[in-house]
Amino acid sequence: MPFGGREEIHVENAPIAKRDMSYTQNRELSWLKFNERVLAQATDPGLPLMERMRFVSIFTSNLDEFFMVRVGSLIDMDMLAPDEKDNKSGMTPKEQVSAICEAVRPLVERRDAIYRDLTGELDNAGVTEAGFDALTSSQKAYVQEYYKENIRPLLSPQVIDRSHPFPHLKNKALYAAALLTLSGKPAGGGKEKDKSGGKQSGGGKQVSGGKQPSVLGIVDVPSALPRVIALPGGGARYIRTEVVIAAHLKKIFKIYDVSEQAIISITRNADISLSEEHYDEENPDFLNYMRTLLKKRDRLAPVRLELEGKAPRLAKRLSEFLKLDGERVFACACPLKLDYIDQIEKVPGQLFNAPHTPVYPDYLIAEKPIWEQVAQRDVLLFYPYQSMQPFLDLLRQSAKDPDVLSIKITIYRLARNSAIAKALCAAAENGKEVTVLMELRARFDEQNNIDWSMELEEAGCRIIYGPENLKCHAKLCLITRRERGGLGYIAQIGTGNYNEKTSTLYTDFCMMTADPAITRDAVSFFDNMLIGNSAGEYDKLLVAPFAMKNRIIAMIDEQIARGAEGRIRIKANSITDRELIDKLSEASCAGVRIDLIIRGICCILPGVPGKTENITVTSVVGRFLEHSRIYAFGAGLEMKLYLSSADFMTRNQDRRVEVGGPVRSPELKKFLAEYLELLLADNTRAWRQDSEGIYTRLAPGDAEPIDVQGWYMAHPIEFAKSVAPRETLNRRIRRWWGFRK
């Protein structure tokens, strides 16, 4: 699960003094509340133990990324514009960093306590993490041999003194660090007893009676090694590799005594932006420019120091070297990286969720070309309850169909072994014109996108990178086919990435349509992207950055005109855009009923008298990441409903290319409206925010439990198996271009 949205630091132009902040809150602190809801899943006794542990891991990796991106950006902002104030809380960058660190510390303490409780429960269930001192004699002999043969040859220990400068510590890599004093014993003096003694968990250790340390010692935990070592004796018993290295620090630094030690990790600023260099002047090839930027990420300034265990003097010495103030130093009782849990062997199956397999929609005929079925009706796929397979089938069939002339698609994040990319390669190799608008700046997926862009280009695809200074986050595909009497088009609009892996983990929608009003706009969109025109005009599609927000505001105004009969429902990952927040407040004051289903960051406070009293905010956090974006304005037959790639965030609305597509099929519109109502009725996985920004988890009480995700896993999604046929493609095409029979 990615963390709850990534937004470049940006302050809108209206003077802060004129902003009403009585119904808004800081986006960073709101995000921390979202991650707290993620952590709360780890305490749910209804979930299997390993799934609860995974939520602890997700919380931790979310927090890592948050410090890399958001805190890193704020630190940069503090250097560039220290007096700039957030338009939702009035805080300066430095004040925001301090507030973040203050809010994070109790969350880390709670995470550590939950981890401790879960490891105890897992131990009772037969999954045991061993400390070095807890090993039996046979296990210790096995680990020592493993260390000698597999670990020690890869270690590169270093002391830091006048002759040995402080080394570069890679972003989020693990290291064993120690404060050292000369022991006064000869080096290599025969067999030396291991003095690491006491319980070793990989965490901090203080040795009484030692001299004041004079040097710092650091050993990397090689990333090439597995994080866990399975122990002999049966069952899921293991020891972490970094714990083994920590237990050998005295032998590694053999001429020194160890006075304090800990496993440490540095979090570095990962907020690389295109404005850092003039790539058009220095690196004319955009691909090479992105490679250059990626190399920087590991070397950017530190923003956080973590230590597993308490080692205060070691922490102070490290923070001095790293130039970090104390508020950004965190001592933890939990491992600093929890991804190792997926490497534990022989874990009983009942400790995991039962597998969920997305199904092929039963209203589609697998043996019949998808093109023909979409020509008859709009098709909606609902991930992860339904499979991505019909869309993959459409691409594969199009790659082979001699009448298909071209495929155009936007790409933001692809799977490592992408079936979609392979289908595009096959289409190009079969002579189709394949155009891929590849976004290389999809944060933390840049290298994967670079690799795929090269492979796609080799296969004969045309690769473009979108308008300068705008990320292309849209999810749009257009297929053009030669039909009798003209050309036929299929457009696909998605709320999530073209990624087979995340389609089984995230809730998203994929709509395929031959509606000429939509496909005509899709043709215009790709024409505009090919010439770098981000300000094109569209009839049905909402396209950012030049038209989407204005169209949304116009639809909110339509509901404001209806007063108490107005209705707005928005499902998104985050809402931070001040202009949209203020417009929703205006609608609330006009009596419009507004339900916001916001998984992550929500900067609008609901229920504030005279400001947002007609607004509710619901967050659903469950097994699957709630990723889809749905905008619904009005109700009944007059409702305008859109599926979109864009959140209600400033970055999405003003600084990205985004697409929202109208749902015009009455059948699909009815289904999506019912889905929104079911989300609002969830009393099992849903949280409700109050006017103070506090979230409370809903409980069924005496009512019937409603679990939206559980419902769709257990019940097939039903659409009519047959529908009244649309107009023929030829007739639509003739009408489109003004022809007459």
Query: Strand, helix or coil at 478?
Result: strand
Tokens standing for residue 217: 């010692």
Query: Strand, helix or coil at 560?
Result: helix
Match 């958001």 to its residue by tokens.
70
Q: List, in sequence order, every beta strand (DSSP E) within 106-173.
A: 127-129, 158-160
* Spatial distance between the Cα atoms of 276 and 472, rounded to a whole number of angstroms: 19
Q: What is the CA radius of gyration of the chain?
A: 28
How many CB atoms sit inside 10 A of residue 608's CB? 19
Residue among 10, 168, 278, 473 flagged as catalytic: 473
Which amino acid would we find at residue 130? A
Please give the helix or strand (H or E) that residue 597 lies within, else none: strand 593-598
To the query of whether residue 473 is one of the catalytic residues in this protein, the response is yes
* Spatial distance between the Cα atoms of 708 and 705, rounded to a whole number of angstroms: 10
Tokens standing for residue 412: 């933001």
* Spatial distance between the Cα atoms of 481 and 477, rounded to a whole number of angstroms: 13
Closest CA to 407 of 352, 461, 366, 345: 461
CB 361 within 8 A of CB 511: no
Tokens standing for residue 561: 């005109």
Which amino acid would we find at residue 425? C
Please give the helix or strand (H or E) that residue 479 lies within, else none: strand 476-483
Sign of the alpha-carbon torsion through 95, 99, 105, 111: negative
Which amino acid would we find at residue 707? D
CB 414 within 8 A of CB 421: yes
Q: Which residues are catalytic?
A: 473
